[in-house]
Structure 1
Amino acid sequence: MEQKTLGTTGPATSAIGLGCMGFSQAYGPADDEVSAAVIRDALDHGITLIDTAMSYGQGHNETLVGRAIAGRRDEVVLATKFGIVRGEHGTRLDGRPGNVRGYCEASLRRLGADHIDLYYLHRVDPDVPVADTVGAMAELVAAGKVRHLGLSEVDPAQLDQAAAVHPIAAVQFEWSLAWREPEDDVVPAARRIGAGLVPYSPLGRGLLTGTLPAGPFPVGDFRRADPRFGPEHLPANLALVRALAEVAEAHGVTPGQLALAWLLARGPDVVPIPGTRSRRRVAENAAAAGVRLAEKDLAALDAAVPREGWRGDRTSFAAHGTARTR
């Protein structure tokens, strides 16, 4: 698979990564053995960037990833995140500098690793200046526990404050054909500081694959509360997905592959991390790295699936508690 470098200071990684959240939360129950097999399949297909977080399943996800990559650690660019703390009393954000090392060391134990290649602040703690949190993260780099630093779901001002303390290798945020607002602010800000772009939910939480399940989402699937999938907005969004599918068919690819190829065409600094719990789908996603779109293809896609056509608010669970609205 094509290799990219995340930002001006970050690690070399595969052009497409694997987001692991769905193995532990948000999409209903999952089978650990199948999940581990998907991770190993991803490595077999040349995917090296494996993305997890301490909050996913309250540590379950990191443990699962660690078990899946055992014996293959040298093939992996291992990314994890801290800052969202889930427990029996709910969810909170914690970016206090004094707690950063402890979170990192706990993640390392669960992952069975001696270092983390890319360590993200998952969400900025509103009670702690981001520069202070990043300062504590920089100490982990100096100690050899972490190789590179990243930020998730930040605004341009926070990016600048963080970059003034330590180089930021990657910025993670939701970005897809169905959610393009980051192009107005986060994308140019990240490029200005030399950070790579790591879109999560690059397939619109399954919408852009054209394979949503019939009927309501099951209990435990967080799309039940996402307005984009609600009865008011879903019909309009599915009409755009059908248009996407027509363009994809003309290119001889699946809608999901076309959506990933569109992101990859946005620049050499873009490394999407689609999640999947299907061994077949991880192979399909990996193959999207080989799809090339010319400028005329991108223009045709924009005409068929216009940015302004999508409906519904983007509600990111456990984020800042606010939605960016259209």
Structure 2
Amino acid sequence: MQQRSLGPFQVSAIGLGCMNLCHAYGQPVPEAEAERLLHAALDLGITHFDTAALYGFGVSETLIGRFLAPLRQRFTLASKCGMTGVPNEQGVKVRVIDGRPATLKATCEEALRRLRTDVIDLYYLHRWDKSVPIEDSVGALADLVRDGKIRAIGLSEVSAATLRRAHAVHPIAALQTEYSLWTRNPEIAVLQACRELGVSFVAFSPLGRGFLCGPLDIDAFDAKDIRRTMPRFTPAHYPHNAGLLPAYLAVAQEVGCSPAQLALAWLLHQGPDILPIPGTTHVEHLRDNIAAADLSLSPEVLERLDAVMNDRLVSGNRYNEQARREVDTEESA
């Protein structure tokens, strides 16, 4: 697979997002299936693995540590802090955003143990805790760099202005935000800021949380599927959005690729500094995604894609009101 720069690292153009293994889209996959997928990704040339303390409240990091620690030198490891599971009064873990320096450092120590490694290559602030100055949170991550616990710092779901403030404290290697044909928020300002500062851009949910793979049965979503809380997938908005798919699927058919490959290839064509990290629980989908790196799209096809699938045509916000308050990304007027 072609290689791209992820901060100071050279990695596969398409990485693997490891949230799906245990978090957000239904029941966790059996450990044997997780092991099979992780090893298949390495064998197929993926060298960029992205996880977080939040995913399964540590389960995703644990799986990577259990199954890939002996192969640690073969891939670049990214994880995240600042959004974790904390026990409530009933002892049930709930999601908490906490960017205090002491919390970030403690989370890193826990992650190192779960991942069975001495150092995390790229460590992101998963969410900016707006009650803590970004300078303080990034300062704590800079301490972890100096201590040799992490090699580079990343940010997730922040604005161009926040990126610049953070970068003034310590160089930011990568910024991660949702980006796909139907989610264009990064195009407002943060992509340009990344390019001015030399920051790699990692695109999560590059397949539109499955939307860009073809029609979905939203009624069949698992009860814990996070898409149930996302306006675009609700009965009020999804029928309209599903109506955009035929024109998009027609382009994929004409190009001779799968809808997922078309979405990933479009992202790769947006710039050499963009690194998509699709997630999956199926090896066959993994193979399909990877093939997108070899797909060349003509200017005419790229123009058609922009016309048939963009955020101006989509109905509904990507997050509900609570999640929108928690992120710092720019939104179109």
Shared fold, TM over 0.5: yes
Counterpart AA for 2:240 = A
2:91 maps to none
1:29 maps to 27
Q: Does structure 1 retain, via aligned residues, the 8 Å contact 2:204–2:276? A: yes
Distance in 1, matches of 2:46 and 2:182, equals 24
2:4 maps to 4
Distance in 1, matches of 2:68 and 2:242, equals 37
Counterpart AA for 2:59 = H
Distance in 1, matches of 2:125 and 2:31, equals 26
1:84 maps to 83
- The percent of aligned pairs where both chains have the same amino acid is 47
Q: Does structure 1 retain, via aligned residues, the 8 Å contact 2:22–2:55? A: yes
Counterpart AA for 2:132 = V
Please list, as runs of the form range in 1=range in 2, the aligned pairs for 1:109-188 lying within 5 A after superposition: 109-188=113-192
Distance in 2, matches of 1:40 and 1:121, equals 27
Counterpart AA for 2:172 = I
Distance in 2, matches of 1:247 and 1:56, equals 34
Distance in 1, matches of 2:223 and 2:240, equals 24
Distance in 2, matches of 1:42 and 1:148, equals 23
Bigger mean CA offset, 263-272 vs 221-230: 221-230
- Say which SS state the counterpart of residue 155 (structure 2) adopts: strand
Q: TM-score, normalized by length of structure 2? A: 0.93
Counterpart AA for 2:53 = M
Shift of 1:190: 1.7
Q: Does structure 2 retain, via aligned residues, the 8 Å contact 1:42–1:286? A: no
Q: Does structure 1 retain, via aligned residues, the 8 Å contact 2:82–2:103? A: no
Shift of 1:32: 2.1
**1:310 paired to 2:308:** no
1:70 maps to 69
Structure 1 spans left out of the alignment, 5+ residues:
none
- How many matched pairs? 324
Deviations 1:47-68 (A, max 9, x none): 1110000111111110011122
Bigger mean CA offset, 112-121 vs 99-108: 99-108
- Say which SS state the counterpart of residue 80 (structure 2) adopts: strand
**1:17 paired to 2:15:** yes
Q: Does structure 2 retain, via aligned residues, the 8 Å contact 1:37–1:68? A: no
Distance in 1, matches of 2:216 and 2:40, equals 23
Runs of 4+ in 1 over 6 A off after TM superposition: none
Q: Does structure 2 retain, via aligned residues, the 8 Å contact 1:91–1:318? A: no
Shift of 1:87: 2.5
Bigger mean CA offset, 299-308 vs 277-286: 299-308
Q: 1:277 to 1:137 in 2, by over 3 A?
A: same
Distance in 2, matches of 1:180 and 1:45, equals 29
Q: TM-score, normalized by length of structure 1? A: 0.94
Distance in 2, matches of 1:319 and 1:167, equals 26
Distance in 1, matches of 2:3 and 2:153, equals 19
Structure 2 spans left out of the alignment, 5+ residues:
89-93
